[in-house]
Amino acid sequence: MKILVLNCGSSSVKYKLFNMDTHEVLAQGGVEKLGLPGSFLKFTQPDGKKVILDKELPEHNAAIEFILSVLTDEKYGCIKSYNEIDAVGHRVVHGGEAFSGSVEITPEVIGKMVECIDLAPLHNPPNLKGIRAMSALIPGIRQVGVFDTAFHQTMPDYAYMYGLPYSLYKKYSIRRYGFHGTSHRYVSKRACDILGVPYEEQRIITAHVGNGGSIAAVKNGKSIDTSMGLTPVEGLLMGTRCGDVDAGALTFIMDKEKLDAKGLSDLINKQSGVQGLSGISSDMREIEAAVAEGDKRAILALNIYNYRIKKYIGAYAAAMGGCDILVWTGGVGENQWATRRAVCENMEFMGMKIDVEKNDGMRGEEMVISTPDSKVTIIVVPTDEEYMIASDTMDILGK
């Protein structure tokens, strides 16, 4: 069974084509600068060589059609015709309260996704464009929506409700939803598979940290809390997002800087976080380089970044009555060993001991990095959201 996974953003379309019979990735790549001058398709060939094809791609239909043409191309392709694609799995950012799991796309499902646009105005519209483009290009193709928010729909009400008037929840569905759910679900389950322990009996904290980042508390196979909220702004310090901040500080800034809602959104989403604090970059590799040179603002930004992660780990251990497994994933979690060490140091009081020799220098591997006598198993698990989407698609369409 061949499944195409699409992740459609406002200016990009990422894809992976899987042969689920052999668990093989047949093709992967993405269109960048979609709708802008200089758009191009970049993909990786089976031998690891990267190819860039320049082409003006004004919108999602054209981008997906170009991707399909490359997949069937004599020189670069891996299939002979579109008909070899059995189904398409789509990453969808926000499912609101309507979706607690992945679902096959139907007109009714599309209607519910449209209703969620207010909750994710930047993300859900391009996700919908990808679904409609596939319907137009391969009429009758079966499609599945896999929602970033679905895994966290098991949170109890006392974890997802804000201290705002209840009427606002009833009118606008304002509550904590959480994101990165597909990643948190994959790595928490994968960690248990690696360790040979029952998923439904573990207290797991998953740290998906990178340019965007969130922490989740997964108890007995279910998400019971997560750091992101109504939007992906809440929680950890991120590349350009501020994370947790006093709402009163925001109204104060709006007044002083004469900002409207759009201006405030731009401030907290695009001008804050590591980039706003350091004045250098949102890329943690550049921050680490600046820290090595003694840049004080870079040091401050990195300390805040690491401290927020440590604080949430402690909070979620308290929420679950302890922690059995801490999973690191995401761009920073998988590769930035200095952050893993800084966060896990001095956590012996809760039974967490990191093996510095195993941790330091280790990047992008599945590896236990705790000491043998650590009561909490610390493990790095590279995430694979695309495989999770393909797996969900196969499972749903096989029912």
Residues annotated as binding site for substrate?
91
148 in active site: yes
Q: Point out the annotated binding site.
A: 7, 14, 91, 208-212, 283-285, 331-335, 385
Distance CA 24, CA 27 (A): 9
Distance CA 118, CA 258 (A): 24
Catalytic residue among 73, 86, 148, 373: 148
Q: Point out the annotated binding site for ATP.
A: 14, 208-212, 283-285, 331-335
Q: Point out the annotated binding site for Mg(2+).
A: 7, 385
Annotated catalytic residues are 148
